[in-house]
């Protein structure tokens, strides 16, 4: 570790387009995005290795990790958390996990309006939450149909997130394109906002799980298949 001080690794693998950032005492020194698609496990570690080498560091130099922990892609969340935990265990360093929905709202912080964040949850549903301009929660994260959000108090709110296009067109919302935003770099701002310095805690790491918000689609389909199978075994009353 050199004189630049603490090296922080920030990761967001919760969305189809992942991102990472490195920060030292001088500020953010590296930020990049990459298409993780369905190959999260093959993409994330090479990207981290490249970032470290490019900045003249080694994996053992990482002294803190920031992570977008969901909701979002189930595969991405699992790979992201497993990677973050592995580094934290090896380096005995703290891991701070943050909401992907609050992270998505960050580009519109202090812009004078409420912020509605919407992430595509697949299966015709979305993950959504509503924040005030200071990123204080007004409506807890939930999974719902896009049209159900219009019953929320969203008048005049900024609309952000990769599920924004699924929300019915409405003059009540102000769509904002944040596709060029490097979300992992935003984790540094969320860490400062929460102002809760973390320490290495093995028990906390062991218990930490992704914030899925709902069961995976495979689990939902399996449960439905099981329900139908049971229904077929129940005798029909022919009286």
The β-bridge partners of 150 are none
- Residue 231 resides in a domain: no
Same domain membership, residue 146 and residue 33: no
- Residue 230 resides in a domain: no
Query: What gap in Å lies between CA 16 and CA 147, rounded to an integer?
Result: 23
Same domain membership, residue 76 and residue 49: yes
Query: What gap in Å lies between CA 47 and CA 167, rounded to an integer?
Result: 33
Contacts of residue 13, defined as CB under 8 A and 6 or more positions apart, other chains included, come to: 36, 40, 44, 68, 73, 76, 77, 79, 80, 83
Integer Rg of the chain from CA: 20
Query: With 0-12 CB in 10 A as exposed, 13-18 as middle and 19+ as buried, what is 57?
Result: buried
CATH number of the domain residue 119 falls in: 3.30.420.40
Judge if pTM exceeds 0.95: no
Same domain membership, residue 110 and residue 38: no
Query: What gap in Å lies between CA 162 and CA 120, rounded to an integer?
Result: 6
Same domain membership, residue 28 and residue 111: no
User: Mean pLDDT by 10-residue block, N- to C-terminus, for the chain (239 residues)?
Assistant: 72 91 95 74 88 97 97 93 97 97 96 97 96 97 96 96 92 91 93 88 96 64 40 53
Domain region containing 131: 102-175
- Residue 232 resides in a domain: no
Supply the pLDDT for residue 227: 39
Same domain membership, residue 61 and residue 43: yes
- Domains: count for the chain: 2
């Amino acid at each position: 570790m050199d004189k630049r001080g603490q090296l922080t690794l920030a990761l967001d693998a919760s969305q189809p387009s992942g991102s990472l950032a490195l920060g030292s005492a001088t500020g953010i020194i590296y930020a990049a995005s990459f298409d993780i698609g369905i190959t999260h496990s093959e993409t994330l570690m090479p990207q981290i290795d490249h970032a470290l080498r490019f900045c003249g560091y080694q994996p053992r130099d990482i002294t803190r990790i920031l992570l977008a922990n969901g909701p979002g892609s189930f595969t991405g969340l699992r790979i992201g958390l497993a990677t973050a935990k592995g580094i934290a265990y090896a380096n005995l360093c703290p891991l701070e996990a943050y909401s992907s929905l609050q992270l998505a709202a960050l580009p519109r912080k202090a812009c004078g309006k409420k912020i509605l964040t919407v992430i595509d949850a697949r299966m015709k549903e979305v993950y959504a939450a509503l924040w005030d301009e200071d990123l204080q929660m007004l409506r807890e994260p939930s999974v719902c149909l896009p049209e159900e959000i219009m019953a929320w108090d969203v008048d005049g709110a900024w609309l952000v997130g990769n599920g924004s296009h699924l929300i019915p067109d409405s003059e009540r919302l102000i769509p904002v394109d944040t596709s060029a935003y490097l979300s992992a770099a935003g984790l540094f701002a969320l860490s400062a906002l929460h102002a809760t310095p973390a320490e290495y805690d093995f028990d906390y790491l062991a218990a930490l799980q992704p914030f899925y918000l709902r069961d995976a689609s495979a689990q939902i389909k399996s449960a439905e298949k099981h329900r139908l199978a049971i229904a077929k075994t129940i005798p029909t009353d022919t009286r």
